Amino acid sequence: MEQRDNPSAESVALRLQWLRDYLGLSQTEIASSIGVKTTQWNNWERAHNRLSLTGGLRLGQVYGVSLDFLFLGRVDTLQHTMRTAWLSSPRVNSSKKSSENPDT
């Protein structure tokens, strides 16, 4: 299984946006569910600030997503339905395409 270790703030933000969309939650709802302010979540999701370890741990406790996925993009740590959704995501497919072939 492909491992894409990409810890950049922008890559983490992409995974946070995807997770929230996958869960069907607003920024306010997901922020509240893990005990942070909406502005903090927004800063993480826009890569203005890096996701904190505490925030990542809370996401894991509440939604079952691993730190390896959040910080490194390791999809093999996701439960099957999440992994399938992630791999079929248009954002993921377009970012894979652009990273594999910079001319596309």
> Residue 45, Cα to own-chain centre: how many angstroms?
9
Comparing CA positions, the residue from 9, 13, 14 lying closest to residue 96 is: 14
Give yes or no for residue 4 having a pLDDT over 80: no
> Has residue 103 been placed in a domain?
no
List, for residues 39-87, the tens digit of each pLDDT value: 999 999 999 999 999 999 999 999 999 999 999 999 999 999 999 999 9
> Has residue 22 been placed in a domain?
yes
Q: In whole numbers, what is the pLDDT of the chain averaged over residues?
A: 86
% helix, strand, coil for the chain, step of 5: 65, 0, 35
> Has residue 104 been placed in a domain?
no
Question: Concatenated DSSP letters for 19-34?
Answer: HHHHHT--HHHHHHHT
Confidence label for 90 from pLDDT (cuts 50, 70 and 90): confident
> Has residue 95 been placed in a domain?
no
Find out whether 46 and 37 touch, Cβ atoms under 8 Å. Answer: no
Q: Given this model, what pLDDT does residue 97 score?
A: 40
> Residue 19, Cα to own-chain centre: how many angstroms?
5
> Has residue 68 been placed in a domain?
yes
> Has residue 101 been placed in a domain?
no
Whichever domain contains 50, its CATH number is 1.10.260.40
Residue range 2-18: mean pLDDT, rounded: 81
- The single-letter code of the amino acid at 77 is T
Q: Given this model, what pLDDT does residue 92 score?
A: 61
What range defines the domain where residue 19 resides? 9-89
> Has residue 96 been placed in a domain?
no
Q: Given this model, what pLDDT does residue 7 score?
A: 77
> Has residue 15 been placed in a domain?
yes
Question: How many domains are contained in the chain?
Answer: 1
| pTM check: above 0.75 | yes
